[in-house]
């Protein structure tokens, strides 16, 4: 059953790509690249575009197939399950990071005496409830809240652009291109958000302009993020690495905000919603991947497992995101390179081989995992209701 619409898909992509990147990362990149955060984020963005490019290509090639089915077709059922588990861990890590980030954001902006227990228990309960309700509800949730988040983003960009001095962005690449870009590769905890599309593949009611809408969304996303980083650096200049709560810090620089404060509070409150929604989307992605790997009948057990892990790791790290970032910088990045880049690229290569396999030019490698399932998949496709492009 198709769960999300093209509009919901675009909103999910836009929301997930933006939300977490506007927290902590501007400050971290400014420190690591000696105030070259805009150049670093453009570099990360270009690399990150590999993911949606591949996923969109696969989604077009197999519009009615879920990610699991494509994986199964390419690598075989067992390998597909392993890959799905790898992806679920990837999403789980982001859920944990966002959960801790959410707590810290609340702590730094709204409730300085917030107790972790009072925060974590209700949030985990809500997280458990929402991630087990399925993709359709998450699509609706995103449709309701993302416009609100986007209004907050527009507020940040518009109001921060007034006092911003864009000359503070200069010089770009003062110490060479490498020193301004390569350190960004350590922060993979903030990349790979486009992988959320794997949950959507095969589950989307494709509109007439699905591809165009998704591509425009990705372009808009990259533009918003780049503009944000430009303004961030323009505002805080040499002191940029000192501002971890990037979005609320940018609003707080407005002279009138200390007295009126309304815009600051609006952004802070909306961003709390955004952070929790981000936890929900990635928690749901993790749930989806495990469910696809082990079966839908364990829905609640998987949900409980995810929530317990999120809570346990967050408490274990004492809600200190710096520990998670440090682990990510030293070890996690290698895992992310595999999940975010190596697997999608391999999948793409295998999908090409599958094409040649169909055209009759069979290779020995292509025959082994795919042929046995080819007839079954054909059968499955026939059983599916025709939809969207396939229907036409």
Partner 1 sequence: MINKLLRYKVIIVIGLLLVIFLPGVLVGDLDSKTDAIIVSVGIDKAEEKYEVTLQYLLPTQSGQFNKKLDVLSSKSGEISSAISDLSLKLGKNIGLSHCRSIVISDEIAKEDTVKTYDYFSRFKLNTNHISLIYTPKSAKEFLKTSTDSQNALLIDIGDSVDLSSVKLRGMQTFLNDFYIGYFSPSGCSHMGYIDVKEDEEKQESSGGGQGGGGQESGGGEGDEKSGGTKKISNEGKAVVFKKGKKVMVLEKEDVEAFGWFLKDITNETITIKNVLGDQYKNAAVGVQIIDNKAKAKVYFKEGSPVYDLKIRVTVRVSEVEQDDYGLENFDLLKENVNKVLNAAVIRKIEEDFNRAIALSLQHNVDIIDAYNNFYKYRTHQFKKFIDRLPNPDEYMQHITFKVNVDVRGGI
Site residues (CB under 8 A) for partner 1? 108, 112, 118, 121-122, 125-126, 129, 167, 170-171, 174, 236-239, 242, 252-253, 255, 258
245: phi then psi, degrees, rounded to nearest 5:
-85, 65
| Residue 4 contacts residue 136 (beta carbons within 8 Å) | yes
Measured from the CB atom, the residue of 7 and 140 that comes closer to partner 1 is 140
Nearer to partner 1, 187 or 264 (CB): 264
Nearer to partner 1, 238 or 298 (CB): 238
Are the CB atoms for 211 and 60 separated by under 8 Å?
yes
The structure tokens listed for 211 are: 């591809």
CB-wise, 167 or 379, nearer to partner 1?
Answer: 167
Give the nearer residue to partner 1 in terms of CB position, either 174 or 308.
174
CA distance 213 to 28: 32
Among residues 209, 218, 205, the alpha carbon closest in space to that of 63 is found at 205
CB 8 within 8 A of CB 142: yes
CB 270 → partner 1: shortest distance, Å?
19
Nearest to 229 by CA among 164, 283, 176, 273: 164
Measure the CA–CA gap between 376 and 236, rounded to whole angstroms: 58
Classify residue 323 as exposed, middle or buried by CB count within 10 Å of its CB (0-12, 13-18, 19+). middle
* CB nearer partner 1, residue 104 or residue 198: 104
User: For partner 1, which is the closer residue by CB, 29 or 198?
Assistant: 29
Pick from 30, 34, 328: nearest CA to 179: 34
Nearest to 20, CA basis, from 213, 149, 202: 149
For residue 5, what are the β-bridge partners? 205
**Shortest CB 205 distance to partner 1, Å:** 26
For residue 317, whether the previous peptide bond is cis, meaning omega lies within 30 degrees of 0, is no
Least Å distance between CB 306 and partner 1?
16
- Of 49 and 126, the one with the shorter C-beta distance to partner 1 is 126
Compute the least distance from the CB of residue 183 to partner 1, in Å: 18
Report, in Å, the least distance between residue 285 CB and partner 1: 21
Spell 115-154 as b/e; 16+ CB within 10 A means b.
Answer: eeeebbeebbeebbebbbebbebbbebbeebbeebbebbe
CB of 129 or CB of 334, closer to partner 1: 129
> Is residue 21 within 8 Å of residue 41, measured between CB atoms?
yes
State the minimum distance, in angstroms, from the CB of residue 235 to partner 1. Answer: 9
CB 126, min distance to partner 1, A? 6
Shortest Å distance, C-beta 161 to partner 1: 16
Minimum separation from the CB atom of position 359 to partner 1 (A): 50
Alpha-carbon Rg for the chain in angstroms: 21
**Two tokens, residue 33:** 């690249």
């Amino acid at each position: 059953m198709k769960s999300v619409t093209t509009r919901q898909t675009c909103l999910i992509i836009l929301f997930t790509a933006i939300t977490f990147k506007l927290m902590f990362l501007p400050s971290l990149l400014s420190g690591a690249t000696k105030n070259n955060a805009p150049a670093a984020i453009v570099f990360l963005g270009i690399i990150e575009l590999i993911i949606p490019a591949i996923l969109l290509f696969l989604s077009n090639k197999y519009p009615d197939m879920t990610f699991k089915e494509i994986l199964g077709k390419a690598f075989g059922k067992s390998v597909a399950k392993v890959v799905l588990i790898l992806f679920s861990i990837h999403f789980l890590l982001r859920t944990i990071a966002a959960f801790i980030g959410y707590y810290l954001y609340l702590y730094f902006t709204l409730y300085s005496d917030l107790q972790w227990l009072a925060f974590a228990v209700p949030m985990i309960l809500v997280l458990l409830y929402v991630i087990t309700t399925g993709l359709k509800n998450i699509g609706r949730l995103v449709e309701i809240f993302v416009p609100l988040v986007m209004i907050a983003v527009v507020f940040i960009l518009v109001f921060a652009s007034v006092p911003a001095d864009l000359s503070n962005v200069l010089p770009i690449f003062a110490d060479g291109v490498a020193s301004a870009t390569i350190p960004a590769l350590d922060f993979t905890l903030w990349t790979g958000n486009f992988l959320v599309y794997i949950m959507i593949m095969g589950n989307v009611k494709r509109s007439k302009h699905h591809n165009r809408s998704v591509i425009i969304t990705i372009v808009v996303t990259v533009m918003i993020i780049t503009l944000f980083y430009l303004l961030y650096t323009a505002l805080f200049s040499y002191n940029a690495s000192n501002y971890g709560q990037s979005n609320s810090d940018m609003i707080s620089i407005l002279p009138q905000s200390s007295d009126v404060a309304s815009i600051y509070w609006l952004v802070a409150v909306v961003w709390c919603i955004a952070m929790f929604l981000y936890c929900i989307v990635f928690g749901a992605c993790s749930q989806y991947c495990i469910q696809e790997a082990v079966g839908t009948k364990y829905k609640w057990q998987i949900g409980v497992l995810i929530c317990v892990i999120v809570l346990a790791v967050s408490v274990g790290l004492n809600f200190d995101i710096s520990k998670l970032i440090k682990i990510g910088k030293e070890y996690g990045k290698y895992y992310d390179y595999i999940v975010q880049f190596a697997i999608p690229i391999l999948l793409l290569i295998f999908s090409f081989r599958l094409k040649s396999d169909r055209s009759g030019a069979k290779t020995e490698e292509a025959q082994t995992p795919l042929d046995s399932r080819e007839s079954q998949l054909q059968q499955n496709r026939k059983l599916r209701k025709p939809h969207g492009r396939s229907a036409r």
